[in-house]
């Protein structure tokens, strides 16, 4: 049952991607329409947001699935996708200002960890660095370390 729901959700997510007619103008658009529409609609093509490496990997995957494209066209398509559908910028979480719910959702912390951070902040003042954050009792240090690029102080 659960997997049925998941498939339905993925299908829905793919359908709400940018409609074909909304592909931004630019060199590469015509190639995309020719190449990618052979196997699936364009909404699926641009449902992803990823960096250049990610798009390169997707194009390799499509080639492995049978897409036939000239090297020149592939490069044009890669430029187009990397420019128009780049990875979404996620602003960092300021741990001195964030509310508990933001710490939970943006850093995947447990509720108990988020409230421990708030309590510590109240008692000790602002965190100066990730080392301060690691001193919070009950915090999963590995989890904090893994998210260090998303932290701001």
User: Does residue 32 touch ligand HEC according to CB under 6 A?
Assistant: yes
The CA distance from 82 to 65, in Å, is: 21
Q: If binding is defined by CB under 6 A, does position 35 make contact with ligand HEC? A: yes
Instruction: Pick between residue 66 and residue 137 the one whose CB is nearest to ligand HEC.
Output: 66
At closest approach, how far in Å is the CB of 91 from ligand HEC? 25
Q: How many CA atoms lie within 13 A of 24 on its CB side?
A: 11
67 binds ligand HEC (CB under 6 A): yes
Instruction: Residue 96: count other Cβ atoms within 10 Å of its Cβ.
Output: 15
User: H/E element holding 94?
Assistant: strand 93-94
Chosen residue from 23, 28, 76, 77 binding ligand HEC by CB under 6 A? 77
Residue closer to ligand HEC (CB basis): 77 or 98: 77
**63: which 2 tokens?**
């080639």
Question: What minimum distance in Å lies between the beta carbon of 108 and ligand HEC?
Answer: 23
- DSSP bridge partners of 94: 152
Closest by alpha carbon to 138, among 152, 122, 123, 119?
A: 119
The footprint of ligand HEC (CB under 6 A) covers: 32, 35-36, 38-40, 44-45, 47-48, 58-59, 61-62, 65-67, 77
């Amino acid at each position: 049952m659960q997997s049925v729901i998941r498939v339905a959700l993925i299908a829905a997510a793919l359908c709400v991607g940018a409609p074909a007619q909304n592909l931004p103008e630019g060199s590469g658009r015509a190639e995309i329409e020719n190449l990618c529409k052979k196997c699936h609609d364009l909404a699926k093509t641009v449902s992803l947001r990823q960096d250049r490496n990610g798009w390169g990997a997707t194009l390799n995957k499509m080639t492995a699935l049978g897409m036939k494209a000239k090297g020149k066209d592939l490069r044009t398509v890669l430029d187009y996708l990397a420019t128009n559908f780049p990875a979404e910028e996620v602003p960092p979480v300021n741990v001195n200002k964030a509310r508990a719910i933001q710490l939970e959702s943006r850093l995947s912390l447990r509720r108990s960890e988020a409230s421990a951070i708030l309590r510590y902040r109240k008692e000790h003042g602002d965190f100066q660095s990730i080392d301060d954050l690691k001193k919070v009792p009950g915090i999963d240090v590995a989890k904090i370390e893994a998210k260090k690029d998303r932290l701001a102080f």
